[in-house]
């Protein structure tokens, strides 16, 4: 029988897999990243053709390539649940700084999309919108957005968002 610890671990791994598998078809591939980009742009009413849209799609492609390099063991351009569970998170954790660099262009572009006031930070409300656009449940999105605002001034900074993103995918019990 599984220990409670391993049940918690597997649940967390499943949650992270689901975060990447944006279209929920059971594997992670390039489509999931372009889907995520499209959802975010739609939420904020930004076209794919403009500079912000192009930057987001470019970042999404780089993030997919980076994840595939780490996780697509058999090279079929899909990361299956088996490939993901079988070591992806461990490798992400071992390469936390590398993963942060892989994700940075996407996060930078996503941040620019959500920075509706154009002031270099994102309001907690817009951070929540962005998280919901990425499929995070409304309840969790609200909690995370508030937690991202570490100093409680109602704004989220890009370094805090990048650190939280990396921590989510590289920190497990
Ligand atoms: Ca998918
Ligand atoms: Ca594969």
Residue, of 2 and 14, whose pLDDT is higher: 14
Task: Give 53-91 pLDDT, tens digit per residue.
Answer: 999 999 999 999 998 988 899 999 999 998 888 777 777
Identify the pLDDT of residue 96.
65
> Which ligand is in closest contact with the Cα of 67?
2
pLDDT exceeds cutoff 70 at 97 = no
Question: Ligand 2 centroid vs 159 CA: distance in angstroms?
Answer: 31
Question: Ligand 1 centroid vs 28 CA: distance in angstroms?
Answer: 4
Spell out the residues 6+ positions from residue 69 whose beta carbon is closer than 8 angstroms to its own: none
* pLDDT-based confidence at residue 34 (cuts at 50, 70, 90): very high
Question: Ligand 1 centroid vs 78 CA: distance in angstroms?
Answer: 8
Task: Give 105-125 pLDDT, tens digit per residue.
Answer: 999 999 999 999 999 999 999
> Which ligand is in closest contact with the Cα of 25?
1
Domain with residue 31: its CATH number is 1.10.238.10
Identify the pLDDT of residue 142.
94
What range does the domain containing 85 cover? 4-170
Q: Which two tokens stand for residue 5?
A: 């610890």
Count of domains forming the chain:
1
């Amino acid at each position: 029988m599984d220990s409670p610890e391993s049940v918690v671990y597997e649940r967390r791994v499943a949650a992270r897999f689901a975060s990447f598998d944006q279209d929920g078809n059971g594997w992670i591939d390039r489509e999931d990243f372009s889907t995520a980009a499209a959802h975010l742009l739609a939420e904020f009413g930004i076209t794919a053709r403009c500079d912000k849209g192009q930057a987001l799609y470019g970042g999404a492609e780089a993030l997919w390539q980076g994840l595939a390099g780490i996780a697509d063991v058999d090279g079929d351009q899909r990361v299956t649940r088996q490939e993901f569970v079988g070591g992806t998170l461990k490798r992400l954790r071992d390469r936390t700084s590398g993963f942060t660099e892989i994700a940075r262009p996407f996060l930078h572009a996503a941040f620019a999309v959500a920075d509706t006031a154009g002031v270099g930070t994102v309001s907690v409300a817009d951070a929540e919108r962005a998280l919901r656009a990425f499929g995070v449940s409304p309840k969790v999105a609200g909690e995370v957005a508030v937690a991202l605002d570490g100093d409680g001034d109602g704004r989220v900074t890009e370094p805090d968002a990048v650190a939280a993103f990396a921590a989510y995918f590289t920190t497990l019990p």
